[in-house]
């Protein structure tokens, strides 16, 4: 009897400690999630007069969609950032990897339909299409043109968002000063094959026979869907080898997942919606996105066009994007190799991105681009 009481007491103590830990963790999470962006401040900590740092919601093609807008001076040129993935916002990464865009532009971090701030569990799944994203991009552009009294804006698109961004600019060039593709997708099925070959080669060189066997058990092909075994290993392998989101991000769990939960600018519900939106969008759109072949679909843009690509990027093939940039027709064109970057030069080499933006993109030239 005494032994049973001791066991019961130990169990209750254990449950109490576990519950207390959970409640403490939730309390800390809510404290870290006020859901309000901090104002922009100068070097002395004073709020910059006339600056913008806001989270807003706008009705875009009948759907409430959210965005963060930041600018030291709202009269600066407007930059719309179209995030990557099928539905993965990147604003929260700007906390760990500051881009500084807001210092010289009015930067708009838009969470696309079904993603992050714009996630809606009741939305019809069939509204998540590439065509709808392109239409939404134009609608957001027109909202920004009206609000900031600009005839045209700049559009920067990253990774999966570049499939959308480049087509929006191709369809409505009169709305844009220039297009900037970062980690520009071209034909992702081919890129996945090249990534697979690279990953197997690197792990074989390192003597990691277990990872080689796992990868070779589910090799990707030029058909969709890609093998489930490959998809389970893909992000882990790329980040372990420094060819994923950033060169120094060796774990997508720490570098992306944890970072999303630590950002103070989203509420707890909005943080949860980042991941609900990502998984829902992946299930709906991943196979569609990777099968798009821009080398056949988009052969010319009528605006100055710039490509920023990390030489260590295997999330999207550097070689394929460089070849695409070579064949694309544009009035001004520049390809810029970032030697210290993987998939996200704007986060990894922000000082060089700023120099290119100020000295080339905003002027409409390509003096700093790679030489042929």
The per-residue DSSP string of 229-273 comes to HHHHHHHHHHHHTT-SSSTT---HIIIIIIHHHH-TTS-HHHHHH
Q: Three-state SS for 346?
A: helix
Architecture of the domain whose range is 52-188+257-361? 3-Layer(aba) Sandwich (3.40)
Per-residue model confidence (pLDDT) at position 124:
85
For 69, the token pair is 């807008």
Q: What is the pLDDT of residue 364?
A: 98
**Residue 23: per-residue pLDDT:** 43
How do the pLDDT tens digits run along the chain, 372 residues long?
A: 666 666 666 565 654 554 454 444 446 666 668 899 999 999 999 999 999 999 999 999 999 999 999 999 999 999 999 999 999 999 999 999 999 999 999 999 999 999 999 999 999 888 999 999 999 999 999 999 999 999 999 999 999 999 999 999 999 999 999 999 999 999 999 999 999 999 999 999 999 999 999 999 999 999 999 999 999 999 999 999 999 999 999 999 999 999 999 999 999 999 999 999 999 999 999 999 999 999 999 999 999 999 999 999 999 999 999 999 999 999 999 999 999 999 999 999 999 999 999 999 999 999 999 997
Distance of alpha carbon 147 from alpha carbon 150, whole angstroms: 8
What are the CA-CA distances from residue 83 to residues 110, 121, 133, 179, 203 (Å)? 7, 20, 12, 14, 30
200 C-beta neighbours (distance < 10 Å), count: 17
Enter the DSSP assignment of 75. Answer: T
Specify the pLDDT at position 213: 98
| Cα(112)–Cα(130) distance, integer angstroms | 11
Q: What is the pLDDT of residue 22?
A: 42
pLDDT score of 372: 78
The pLDDT value given to residue 21: 45
Residues 6+ apart with CB under 8 A from 59: 65
List, in sequence order, every residue forming a beta bridge with 349; answer none if it has no partner: none
26's tokens: 């939730």
Residues belonging to the chain: 372
Strand partners, 310: 338
């Amino acid at each position: 009897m005494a032994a049973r009481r001791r066991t019961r007491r130990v169990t209750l103590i254990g449950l109490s400690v576990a519950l207390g830990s959970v409640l403490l963790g939730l309390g800390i999470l809510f404290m870290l999630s006020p859901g309000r962006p901090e104002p922009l401040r100068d070097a002395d900590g004073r709020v910059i007069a006339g600056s913008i740092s806001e989270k807003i919601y706008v009705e875009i093609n009948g759907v409430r969609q959210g965005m963060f807008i930041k600018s030291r001076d709202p009269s600066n040129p407007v930059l719309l950032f179209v995030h990557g993935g099928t539905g993965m916002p990147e604003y929260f990464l700007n906390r760990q990897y500051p881009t500084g865009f807001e210092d010289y532009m009015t930067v708009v971090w838009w969470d696309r339909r079904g993603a992050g701030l714009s996630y809606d569990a009741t939305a019809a799944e069939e509204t998540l299409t590439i065509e709808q994203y392109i239409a939404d991009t134009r609608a957001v552009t027109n909202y920004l043109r009206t609000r900031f009294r600009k005839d045209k804006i700049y559009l920067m698109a990253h990774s999966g968002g570049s499939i959308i961004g480049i087509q929006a600019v191709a369809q409505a060039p009169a709305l844009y000063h220039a297009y900037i593709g970062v980690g520009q997708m071209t034909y992702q099925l081919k890129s996945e094959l090249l990534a697979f070959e690279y990953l197997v080669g690197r792990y074989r060189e390192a003597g990691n026979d277990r990872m080689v066997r796992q990868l070779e058990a589910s090799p990707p092909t030029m058909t969709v869907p890609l093998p489930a075994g490959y998809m389970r290993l893909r992000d882990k392998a790329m980040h372990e080898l420094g060819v994923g989101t950033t060169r120094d991000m060796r774990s997508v769990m720490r570098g992306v997942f944890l970072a999303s939960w630590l950002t103070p600018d989203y509420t707890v519900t909005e943080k949860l919606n980042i991941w609900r939106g990502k998984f829902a969008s992946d299930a709906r759109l991943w196979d569609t996105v990777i099968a798009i072949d821009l080398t056949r679909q988009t052969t010319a843009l009528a605006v100055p066009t710039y490509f920023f690509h990390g030489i260590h990027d295997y999330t999207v093939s550097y070689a394929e994007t460089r070849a695409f940039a070579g064949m694309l027709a544009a009035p001004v064109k520049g390809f810029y190799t970032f030697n210290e970057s993987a998939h996200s030069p704007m986060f990894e080499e922000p000082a060089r991105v700023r120099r290119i933006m100020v000295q080339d993109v905003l002027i409409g030239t390509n003096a700093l681009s790679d030489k042929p």
